[in-house]
Amino acid sequence: MPLKLAIVGRPNVGKSTLFNRLAGKKLAIVDDQPGVTRDRRYADGRLGDLDLQLIDTAGFEDVADESLEARMRAQTELAIEEADLSLFIYDAREGVTPLDEVFATLLRRRGKPVIIAANKAEGKAGQSGIGEAYKLGLGEPIPISGEHGEGMAELYAAMLAAV
């Protein structure tokens, strides 16, 4: 049985980049709720010896209206509900933003297994925003770089420990 992993967080933190790194063959999305599922992407994936079923919550950068946050929140809730484990991503270069806090609160309230990763942590610029994420209450942030493949062993260990 693969571990169902939801990759969640605000737009532009690097969710899809990590999803693509972990994913093998993409799976088609077939569902009778197109308005909802269009916003989530699925793939089989692997990290070390862990078989994964990945869920990527889409960015909605193209939808610039006031329903944006509500839609993102609904997507995230659906993904968390489906998943065995959620991986909350934030941008270590930007640091913790108010929108990150909105998502973190949502995750804490669900009370399901969650780990937090500080993405874009490669290089010096990536080190600054790591410590402040403790205040989100999701545990110790794991520094990773989805783009460069750094921190994958630590991510694997944290995933094993969380489920």
Told to check if 141 binds ligand GDP by CB under 6 A, we report no
CA distances from 94 to 32, 33, 39, 118, 125 (A): 37, 34, 24, 10, 9
Return the amino acid letter for 70: A
* Binders in 53-112 for ligand GDP, by CB under 6 A: 59
3-state secondary structure of 18: helix
CB closer to Mg ion out of 10 and 15:
15
How far apart are the C-alpha atoms of 156 and 101, rounded to whole Å?
24
Told to check if 16 binds ligand GDP by CB under 6 A, we report yes
Residue 120 interacting entry, from Mg ion, ligand GDP, none, C-beta within 5 to 8 Å by type: ligand GDP
Q: Is 46 annotated as a binding residue?
A: no
Find how far residue 5's CA is from the centre of its chain: 8
Residue 86 interacting entry, from ligand GDP, Mg ion, none, C-beta within 5 to 8 Å by type: none
> Where do contacts with ligand GDP occur on this chain (CB under 6 A)?
11-17, 59, 119-120, 122, 145-148
